[in-house]
Structure 1
Amino acid sequence: MHFVEAKGILSAQNGMNLYRGCTHGCIYCDSRSKCYQFTHPFEDIEVKENAPRLLEKALRSRRKKCMIGTGAMCDPYMHCEEELGLTRRCLEIIDRYGFGVAVQTKSDRILRDLDLLKSINEKAKCVVQMTLTTYNENLCRILEPNVSTTAERVRALEIFRDNGIPTVVWLSPILPFINDTRENIEGILGCCVRAKVHGILCFGMGMTLRQGDREYYYAALDRHFPGLKERYRRRYGQAYEIPSDRNRELMELFYRICGEHGILCHVEDCFAYLHEFPERYEQLTLF
């Protein structure tokens, strides 16, 4: 872990990444790709220690409230958050200035900040986004070795449900020949239905691979699924998009179950919901 002074914190789309790198060890992580130009080991977390100060300065000068996003490139609830509390400090600022927040994570550490997330949701809007990839707990420990298990994440979704905080699940990635099964997708969707998630983001049944990410993923295949790397090479070569051969069947299942339970399932609809700041609050701030 090392500390830096960032020049800015909010992107043009009002997203922020408080850390850079990750300690979750997911075997498929796209953020390892060389295109992101990491100049330090991926597990050596870069901490933007002045992020709260930059965020407060940015929000203080905003006349129009909006949703603030975090977690798109780096999980805000990694192990170091327990010690540093950088995410919590930023949530306190968002809460103080009356903005909304959309948080994306794979960790049930987010429950530590339930009080703040409830406060933000009562004043404006809070959406918790949780990634789910496999219904099988043993497989989860292989694919995502240093993060909360699927069962722990689902329990977090249920707690947010019980506290009136809407949730969106990222059903991604689905790894060909590993978790692209009907049983797995039905299992995950069943959890989503019981947790009454508002939406599920799915970009198709498959994954992406590019330089940096591909090498790390293939090394993991050699350790845990001997022979599967060669099957990938024969089937996909050096392709960036790696679709499952069962994509059509599984996407039909996905849309059917979401439709039956009133869950948002089209990518554009989910993103529109995540970015939409509640009109009722905007109107109240005028008076």
Structure 2
Amino acid sequence: MCDQYVNERKHKTYTEKEYKTILSSKNNMNVYRGCTHGCIYCDSRSEIYGMTYTFENIEVKTNAVKLLDEALSKKSKKCMIATGAMTDPYIPLEKELEQTRRCLEVIEKYGFGIAILTKSDLILRDIDILKRIHKKAKCVVQMTLTTYDEELCKILEPNVCSTKRRFEVLMEMHKAGIPTVVWMTPILPFINDNEENISGILDYCKQAKVTGLLTFGIGMTLRHGNREYFFKKLDEHFPELKKEYMKKYSLSYELRSPNHQKLTRIIKNFCKGNNIIYGVKEVFEFCAHFPEQNDQISIFNI
């Protein structure tokens, strides 16, 4: 299956840096900074996060595995470790460095759980470890799906595997007995905020028997850093839309789709009808819950 992994060396260089800590107060971690996926909407580009260099030039936290080992060895209570919120743990550089894989080995060694968010099929490389973690504790694989149309997906998320391929990853995880969550976010006003797109993604969710689904409202966010990049990409691919965005949203942080209510209602009804956990609070609670002994729900141990 290795020959199916996305292997696009879009990054030109990377820097190495040692850190003092790897886990946040809420047990989140990122083993890299920056990203080469090239998604035109990425909030992680925002200057508020302190990116002082080109976003595509990856910063590798060289002592991440050691720091994680030290941190988990000292924890008196097991919990879920989360990764992928700021930087995808399976950027192409991971294929060479295996930082994420080695962190997963540490998590398995100490009996902790993992909730991992990605857009990459490289995660299939580590399905052996993920299955072992889930057998001992709990593993949740979260996959971002925003765009059903494959040609449009190549524009919005140019350097990652297709939405269809990500659906196939979800199917593989379900076969392995690992619960999955879909992040259907962001949905871009005037671009993919339509019923056809949402219905296509929901059909993937149904086929893959996902456990949970979340949106942060139908729309997106823009602030200094990612706004400039997004508008640059609009000029390249959707030149007529930049004027529409400025007219409707000006410099607003939250850009809610005009179709927000209708599409949200469709998603809610779908989740209710298919027994899928829906909502940010509900999904986060599911991902953060570490099962006590004999607390694993049988449905997830297929």
Per the shorter chain, which TM-score range?
over 0.9
| Equivalent residues of 1:124, 1:281 under 8 A apart | no
Cα distance, 1:281 vs structure 2: 5.5
SS at match of 1:280: coil
1:274 and 2:298 aligned: no
1:80 and 2:93 aligned: yes
Q: 1:245 matched to which residue of 2?
A: 258
1:63 and 2:67 aligned: no
Gapped regions of structure 2 (runs ≥ 5): 1-13, 297-302
Q: 1:222 matched to which residue of 2?
A: 235
The one-letter code of the counterpart of 1:58 is A
Q: 2:29 matched to which residue of 1?
A: 16
SS at match of 1:186: helix
CA deviations on 1:152-191 (whole Å, 9 max, x unpaired) are 1000000000000000000000000000000000100110
User: Aligned partners of 2:255 and 2:54: how far apart in 1?
Assistant: 26
Q: Which runs of 4+ in 1 moved over 4 A?
A: none
User: Aligned partners of 2:138 and 2:50: how far apart in 1?
Assistant: 34
CA deviations on 1:63-120 (whole Å, 9 max, x unpaired) are 1000000001000000100010000000000001100000000001000000000000
Residues 38 and 281 (structure 1), Cα distance of their counterparts in 2 relative to 1, 3 Å cut: farther
Tell me which of 113, 129, 141 is aligned to 2:126: 113
Residues 282 and 51 (structure 1), Cα distance of their counterparts in 2 relative to 1, 3 Å cut: farther
CA deviations on 1:213-240 (whole Å, 9 max, x unpaired) are 0110001011001110010000000000
SS at match of 1:68: strand
Percent identical = 57
Q: 2:58 matched to which residue of 1?
A: 45
Q: 2:47 matched to which residue of 1?
A: 34
| Equivalent residues of 1:65, 1:282 under 8 A apart | no
CA deviations on 1:14-37 (whole Å, 9 max, x unpaired) are 000000000000000000011111
Q: 2:208 matched to which residue of 1?
A: 195
Tell me which of 161, 168, 172 is aligned to 2:181: 168
User: Aligned partners of 1:190 and 1:33: how far apart in 2?
Assistant: 32
The one-letter code of the counterpart of 2:86 is M
User: Aligned partners of 1:282 and 1:235: how far apart in 2?
Assistant: 49
User: Aligned partners of 2:157 and 2:180: how far apart in 1?
Assistant: 21
Q: 1:100 matched to which residue of 2?
A: 113
SS at match of 1:129: strand
| Equivalent residues of 1:174, 1:207 under 8 A apart | yes
Q: 1:182 matched to which residue of 2?
A: 195
TM-score by length of 1: 0.97
User: Aligned partners of 2:267 and 2:44: how far apart in 1?
Assistant: 26
Q: CA RMSD in A?
A: 1.0
User: Aligned partners of 2:238 and 2:99: how far apart in 1?
Assistant: 37
The one-letter code of the counterpart of 1:223 is E
User: Aligned partners of 2:177 and 2:257: how far apart in 1?
Assistant: 35
User: Aligned partners of 1:282 and 1:162: how far apart in 2?
Assistant: 21
SS at match of 1:90: helix
Residues 282 and 96 (structure 1), Cα distance of their counterparts in 2 relative to 1, 3 Å cut: farther
The one-letter code of the counterpart of 2:91 is M
CA deviations on 1:211-270 (whole Å, 9 max, x unpaired) are 110110001011001110010000000000000000000000000111100001121110
User: Aligned partners of 1:252 and 1:275: how far apart in 2?
Assistant: 26
The one-letter code of the counterpart of 2:139 is C
Cα distance, 1:282 vs structure 2: 8.2
